Amino acid sequence: MTARQKTLLLAVPINWASLWTTPIAQAAPHLKLAVHGRDAYDPGEIDYVVSFRPPPGLLKGFPKLQAVFSLGAGVDGFMADPDFPKHVPLVRFVHRSLSREMAQYIVLHVLTFHRQQRYFETAQAERKWRQTIPPRKTEDTRVGVLGLGEIGTMAAERLRDLDFPMLGWSRTRKDVKGVRSFAGLGELETFLSQSDILVCVLPLTSDTRHILNAKTFKMLPAGTYVINVARGGHLKEDDLIAAIDSGHLAGAALDVFETEPLPETSPLWAHPKISITPHIAALSDPQAMAQVAIDGIERLESGRPLVNVVDLARGY
Protein backbone atom coordinates (compact mmCIF):
# COMPACT_ATOMS: atom_id res chain seq x y z
CA MET A 1 0.00 0.00 0.00
CA THR A 2 1.44 3.42 -0.95
CA ALA A 3 1.63 6.11 1.75
CA ARG A 4 -0.96 8.89 1.59
CA GLN A 5 0.44 12.10 0.09
CA LYS A 6 0.57 14.72 2.86
CA THR A 7 -1.17 18.04 2.31
CA LEU A 8 0.09 21.48 3.29
CA LEU A 9 -2.47 24.28 3.44
CA LEU A 10 -1.28 27.83 2.85
CA ALA A 11 -3.67 30.20 4.62
CA VAL A 12 -2.71 33.75 3.70
CA PRO A 13 -4.49 36.60 1.91
CA ILE A 14 -5.06 35.33 -1.64
CA ASN A 15 -3.20 38.19 -3.31
CA TRP A 16 -0.05 37.28 -1.33
CA ALA A 17 -0.23 33.51 -1.85
CA SER A 18 1.99 33.42 -4.95
CA LEU A 19 4.91 34.70 -2.83
CA TRP A 20 5.05 31.34 -1.08
CA THR A 21 3.52 28.78 -3.43
CA THR A 22 6.57 28.56 -5.71
CA PRO A 23 9.22 28.29 -2.94
CA ILE A 24 7.09 25.72 -1.06
CA ALA A 25 6.48 23.65 -4.19
CA GLN A 26 10.19 23.78 -5.04
CA ALA A 27 11.36 22.86 -1.54
CA ALA A 28 8.80 20.10 -0.98
CA PRO A 29 7.61 18.59 -4.26
CA HIS A 30 6.37 15.52 -2.35
CA LEU A 31 3.68 17.58 -0.59
CA LYS A 32 0.28 18.42 -2.00
CA LEU A 33 -0.17 22.19 -1.70
CA ALA A 34 -3.57 23.84 -1.28
CA VAL A 35 -4.26 27.56 -0.89
CA HIS A 36 -7.11 28.43 1.47
CA GLY A 37 -9.77 30.46 -0.34
CA ARG A 38 -8.40 29.54 -3.77
CA ASP A 39 -8.36 25.74 -3.95
CA ALA A 40 -10.97 23.14 -3.05
CA TYR A 41 -9.60 20.82 -0.36
CA ASP A 42 -10.79 18.21 2.11
CA PRO A 43 -10.29 19.47 5.73
CA GLY A 44 -9.78 15.84 6.78
CA GLU A 45 -6.67 15.65 4.60
CA ILE A 46 -4.76 18.68 5.93
CA ASP A 47 -1.52 17.70 7.70
CA TYR A 48 0.30 21.03 7.94
CA VAL A 49 -0.70 24.67 7.83
CA VAL A 50 1.52 27.62 6.94
CA SER A 51 -0.07 30.93 7.84
CA PHE A 52 0.31 34.32 9.51
CA ARG A 53 -3.11 35.42 10.73
CA PRO A 54 -5.45 32.53 9.90
CA PRO A 55 -9.18 33.25 9.97
CA PRO A 56 -10.36 32.53 13.56
CA GLY A 57 -11.66 28.98 13.91
CA LEU A 58 -10.06 27.73 10.69
CA LEU A 59 -7.41 25.56 12.36
CA LYS A 60 -9.76 23.65 14.63
CA GLY A 61 -11.41 22.06 11.60
CA PHE A 62 -8.45 19.87 10.58
CA PRO A 63 -8.50 16.54 12.47
CA LYS A 64 -5.14 15.30 11.06
CA LEU A 65 -3.27 18.57 11.65
CA GLN A 66 0.28 17.85 12.87
CA ALA A 67 1.88 21.29 12.97
CA VAL A 68 1.23 24.93 12.20
CA PHE A 69 4.05 27.13 10.87
CA SER A 70 3.87 30.87 11.39
CA LEU A 71 5.11 33.07 8.57
CA GLY A 72 6.03 35.69 11.15
CA ALA A 73 8.19 35.84 14.29
CA GLY A 74 5.21 37.18 16.23
CA VAL A 75 2.39 34.72 16.82
CA ASP A 76 -0.19 37.05 18.39
CA GLY A 77 -2.36 36.50 15.29
CA PHE A 78 -2.65 32.80 16.27
CA MET A 79 -2.99 33.46 20.00
CA ALA A 80 -5.99 35.72 19.29
CA ASP A 81 -7.94 32.69 18.01
CA PRO A 82 -9.78 31.13 20.98
CA ASP A 83 -10.24 27.99 18.88
CA PHE A 84 -6.54 27.45 18.17
CA PRO A 85 -6.05 23.65 18.58
CA LYS A 86 -3.81 23.59 21.65
CA HIS A 87 -2.57 20.05 21.09
CA VAL A 88 -0.94 21.05 17.77
CA PRO A 89 2.58 22.54 17.87
CA LEU A 90 2.85 26.08 16.58
CA VAL A 91 6.28 26.87 15.13
CA ARG A 92 7.28 30.49 14.78
CA PHE A 93 9.50 31.95 12.08
CA VAL A 94 13.06 32.40 13.30
CA HIS A 95 15.68 33.20 10.69
CA ARG A 96 18.88 35.17 10.64
CA SER A 97 17.65 37.22 7.65
CA LEU A 98 14.61 38.41 9.63
CA SER A 99 16.65 39.32 12.72
CA ARG A 100 19.14 41.12 10.49
CA GLU A 101 16.44 43.21 8.76
CA MET A 102 14.94 44.12 12.12
CA ALA A 103 18.34 44.98 13.57
CA GLN A 104 19.03 47.21 10.56
CA TYR A 105 15.77 49.08 11.09
CA ILE A 106 16.55 49.58 14.77
CA VAL A 107 20.12 50.75 14.09
CA LEU A 108 18.83 53.10 11.37
CA HIS A 109 16.39 54.80 13.73
CA VAL A 110 18.78 54.92 16.69
CA LEU A 111 21.34 56.66 14.46
CA THR A 112 18.77 58.91 12.79
CA PHE A 113 17.79 60.22 16.21
CA HIS A 114 21.27 60.20 17.69
CA ARG A 115 22.79 62.08 14.72
CA GLN A 116 19.80 64.47 14.53
CA GLN A 117 19.21 63.62 10.91
CA ARG A 118 15.72 65.12 10.78
CA TYR A 119 17.09 68.45 12.02
CA PHE A 120 19.60 68.56 9.17
CA GLU A 121 16.97 67.56 6.61
CA THR A 122 14.83 70.48 7.74
CA ALA A 123 17.85 72.76 7.50
CA GLN A 124 18.55 71.50 4.00
CA ALA A 125 14.96 72.18 2.95
CA GLU A 126 15.50 75.77 4.13
CA ARG A 127 18.98 75.96 2.47
CA LYS A 128 20.49 76.69 5.89
CA TRP A 129 24.03 75.70 6.90
CA ARG A 130 23.37 74.89 10.56
CA GLN A 131 26.36 73.37 12.31
CA THR A 132 25.06 74.48 15.64
CA ILE A 133 23.75 71.47 17.46
CA PRO A 134 26.43 69.14 18.85
CA PRO A 135 25.36 65.50 18.93
CA ARG A 136 25.20 63.85 22.33
CA LYS A 137 28.24 61.65 22.89
CA THR A 138 27.68 58.05 21.89
CA GLU A 139 29.18 56.89 25.20
CA ASP A 140 26.48 58.90 27.00
CA THR A 141 23.55 57.59 24.96
CA ARG A 142 22.19 54.48 26.65
CA VAL A 143 19.97 52.30 24.47
CA GLY A 144 17.48 50.04 26.24
CA VAL A 145 16.00 47.10 24.37
CA LEU A 146 12.71 45.68 25.64
CA GLY A 147 12.85 42.02 24.62
CA LEU A 148 16.27 40.36 24.37
CA GLY A 149 15.19 37.46 22.16
CA GLU A 150 16.28 36.56 18.64
CA ILE A 151 15.79 40.06 17.25
CA GLY A 152 16.50 42.18 20.32
CA THR A 153 19.80 40.41 20.95
CA MET A 154 21.07 40.94 17.41
CA ALA A 155 20.02 44.61 17.49
CA ALA A 156 21.70 45.10 20.89
CA GLU A 157 24.92 43.50 19.64
CA ARG A 158 25.00 45.71 16.54
CA LEU A 159 24.44 48.86 18.63
CA ARG A 160 26.99 47.72 21.20
CA ASP A 161 29.52 47.41 18.36
CA LEU A 162 28.80 51.08 17.55
CA ASP A 163 29.80 51.86 21.17
CA PHE A 164 26.36 52.65 22.58
CA PRO A 165 26.02 51.58 26.23
CA MET A 166 23.41 48.82 26.01
CA LEU A 167 20.71 47.57 28.37
CA GLY A 168 18.23 44.77 27.76
CA TRP A 169 15.03 43.72 29.49
CA SER A 170 13.60 40.22 29.32
CA ARG A 171 11.60 37.80 31.41
CA THR A 172 14.68 35.74 32.31
CA ARG A 173 18.24 36.99 32.97
CA LYS A 174 20.56 37.12 29.93
CA ASP A 175 24.30 37.00 29.47
CA VAL A 176 25.04 39.00 26.32
CA LYS A 177 28.50 40.56 26.09
CA GLY A 178 28.30 44.32 26.61
CA VAL A 179 24.58 44.34 27.37
CA ARG A 180 23.42 44.91 30.95
CA SER A 181 20.59 42.50 31.68
CA PHE A 182 17.42 43.44 33.55
CA ALA A 183 14.80 40.78 34.19
CA GLY A 184 11.14 40.78 35.11
CA LEU A 185 8.69 43.44 36.19
CA GLY A 186 10.67 44.10 39.37
CA GLU A 187 13.57 45.52 37.31
CA LEU A 188 11.53 47.31 34.65
CA GLU A 189 11.61 50.75 36.27
CA THR A 190 15.39 50.65 36.87
CA PHE A 191 15.86 49.59 33.26
CA LEU A 192 13.60 52.33 31.90
CA SER A 193 15.17 55.01 34.08
CA GLN A 194 18.49 54.41 32.27
CA SER A 195 17.23 54.24 28.66
CA ASP A 196 17.94 57.37 26.60
CA ILE A 197 16.65 55.57 23.55
CA LEU A 198 14.06 52.84 24.11
CA VAL A 199 13.45 50.07 21.58
CA CYS A 200 10.47 47.73 21.90
CA VAL A 201 10.90 44.30 20.32
CA LEU A 202 8.74 42.25 22.67
CA PRO A 203 6.14 39.69 21.64
CA LEU A 204 2.57 40.89 22.15
CA THR A 205 1.07 38.94 25.04
CA SER A 206 -1.38 39.70 27.85
CA ASP A 207 1.67 40.69 29.95
CA THR A 208 3.16 43.10 27.41
CA ARG A 209 0.04 44.71 25.90
CA HIS A 210 0.22 48.51 26.31
CA ILE A 211 3.55 48.30 28.11
CA LEU A 212 4.43 51.61 26.45
CA ASN A 213 2.05 53.91 28.32
CA ALA A 214 1.92 57.16 30.30
CA LYS A 215 3.16 55.41 33.45
CA THR A 216 6.19 53.74 31.84
CA PHE A 217 7.01 56.90 29.84
CA LYS A 218 7.31 58.77 33.16
CA MET A 219 9.97 56.24 34.22
CA LEU A 220 12.15 57.18 31.22
CA PRO A 221 14.71 60.01 31.44
CA ALA A 222 13.53 63.32 29.95
CA GLY A 223 14.40 63.44 26.24
CA THR A 224 14.10 59.71 25.56
CA TYR A 225 13.32 58.62 22.01
CA VAL A 226 11.02 55.60 21.57
CA ILE A 227 11.23 53.05 18.75
CA ASN A 228 8.43 50.50 18.46
CA VAL A 229 9.06 47.70 15.98
CA ALA A 230 7.17 44.99 17.84
CA ARG A 231 3.38 45.29 17.65
CA GLY A 232 0.99 48.23 17.73
CA GLY A 233 -0.71 46.68 20.76
CA HIS A 234 2.37 47.45 22.87
CA LEU A 235 1.83 51.18 22.61
CA LYS A 236 -0.87 53.51 23.90
CA GLU A 237 -0.70 55.91 20.99
CA ASP A 238 -2.50 58.78 22.77
CA ASP A 239 -0.09 58.50 25.72
CA LEU A 240 2.87 58.71 23.35
CA ILE A 241 1.58 61.88 21.69
CA ALA A 242 0.87 63.43 25.11
CA ALA A 243 4.35 62.54 26.40
CA ILE A 244 6.02 64.05 23.31
CA ASP A 245 3.84 67.17 23.32
CA SER A 246 4.59 67.73 27.01
CA GLY A 247 8.29 67.78 26.12
CA HIS A 248 9.10 64.71 28.21
CA LEU A 249 9.84 62.43 25.23
CA ALA A 250 11.94 63.63 22.28
CA GLY A 251 10.04 61.71 19.63
CA ALA A 252 9.38 58.27 18.25
CA ALA A 253 9.79 55.96 15.29
CA LEU A 254 6.88 53.58 14.78
CA ASP A 255 6.61 50.66 12.38
CA VAL A 256 3.53 49.03 13.92
CA PHE A 257 0.14 50.36 14.98
CA GLU A 258 -2.92 49.40 16.97
CA THR A 259 -4.92 49.62 13.72
CA GLU A 260 -3.20 48.66 10.49
CA PRO A 261 -3.22 50.17 7.93
CA LEU A 262 -2.87 53.31 10.07
CA PRO A 263 -6.08 55.29 9.41
CA GLU A 264 -5.64 58.52 7.45
CA THR A 265 -7.25 60.35 10.36
CA SER A 266 -4.58 59.27 12.86
CA PRO A 267 -2.76 62.24 14.44
CA LEU A 268 0.44 60.17 14.32
CA TRP A 269 0.84 60.79 10.57
CA ALA A 270 1.43 64.52 10.82
CA HIS A 271 3.27 64.68 14.11
CA PRO A 272 6.58 66.48 13.50
CA LYS A 273 8.46 64.32 16.00
CA ILE A 274 7.14 60.92 14.92
CA SER A 275 8.52 58.85 12.04
CA ILE A 276 6.16 56.33 10.53
CA THR A 277 6.77 53.26 8.39
CA PRO A 278 4.02 50.85 7.31
CA HIS A 279 5.05 47.64 9.13
CA ILE A 280 8.04 47.06 6.85
CA ALA A 281 10.84 46.82 9.42
CA ALA A 282 11.51 43.29 8.24
CA LEU A 283 10.78 42.45 4.65
CA SER A 284 10.80 38.71 5.16
CA ASP A 285 12.28 36.49 2.54
CA PRO A 286 9.57 34.08 1.23
CA GLN A 287 12.23 31.54 0.26
CA ALA A 288 13.58 31.50 3.83
CA MET A 289 10.06 31.31 5.25
CA ALA A 290 9.16 28.36 3.05
CA GLN A 291 12.42 26.62 3.92
CA VAL A 292 11.85 27.01 7.68
CA ALA A 293 8.42 25.37 7.35
CA ILE A 294 9.72 22.58 5.12
CA ASP A 295 12.64 21.93 7.51
CA GLY A 296 10.09 21.58 10.32
CA ILE A 297 8.03 19.13 8.30
CA GLU A 298 11.15 17.10 7.54
CA ARG A 299 11.94 17.02 11.26
CA LEU A 300 8.46 15.73 12.03
CA GLU A 301 8.56 13.15 9.28
CA SER A 302 11.95 11.84 10.40
CA GLY A 303 10.93 11.71 14.06
CA ARG A 304 13.18 14.59 15.21
CA PRO A 305 11.90 17.28 17.59
CA LEU A 306 10.61 20.56 16.19
CA VAL A 307 12.50 23.77 17.04
CA ASN A 308 11.12 27.22 17.90
CA VAL A 309 7.83 25.81 19.11
CA VAL A 310 5.68 28.46 20.79
CA ASP A 311 4.87 28.02 24.47
CA LEU A 312 1.12 28.59 24.28
CA ALA A 313 0.85 29.33 28.01
CA ARG A 314 3.45 32.13 27.75
CA GLY A 315 2.04 33.31 24.43
CA TYR A 316 5.37 33.48 22.58
What number of other Cβ atoms are within 10 A of residue 169's Cβ? 27
Site string for ligand NAP, 91-120 (x = CB under 6 A): ---x---x---x------------------
Is 279 labeled as catalytic in the residue annotation?
yes
Per CB under 6 A, the list member of 19, 256, 274, 292 interacting with ligand NAP is 256
For residue 91, the minimal CB distance to ligand NAP (Å) is: 12
Residue 233 binds ligand NAP, judged by CB under 6 A:
no
Backbone angles phi, psi at 165, to 5 degrees: -70, 125
For residue 111, the minimal CB distance to ligand NAP (Å) is: 18
Per CB under 6 A, the list member of 201, 220, 252, 254 interacting with ligand NAP is 201
Stretch touching ligand NAP by CB under 6 A, among 61-69, 157-165, 276-284, 294-302: 276-284
Residue 71 binds ligand NAP, judged by CB under 6 A:
no
Residue 73 binds ligand NAP, judged by CB under 6 A:
yes
Is 38 labeled as catalytic in the residue annotation?
no
**How many residues at the interface with ligand NAP, by CB under 6 A?**
31
Per CB under 6 A, the list member of 78, 144, 150, 241 interacting with ligand NAP is 150
Per CB under 6 A, the list member of 68, 167, 229, 300 interacting with ligand NAP is 229
Per CB under 6 A, the list member of 172, 259, 265, 302 interacting with ligand NAP is 172
Please identify which of the residues 248, 271, 279, 299 carries the catalytic annotation: 279
Please identify which of the residues 118, 231, 248, 271 carries the catalytic annotation: 231
Please identify every residue annotated as catalytic. 231, 279
Binding site for ligand NAP (CB under 6 A): 73-74, 94, 98, 102, 147-152, 169-172, 201-205, 207-208, 229-231, 255-256, 279, 281-282, 316
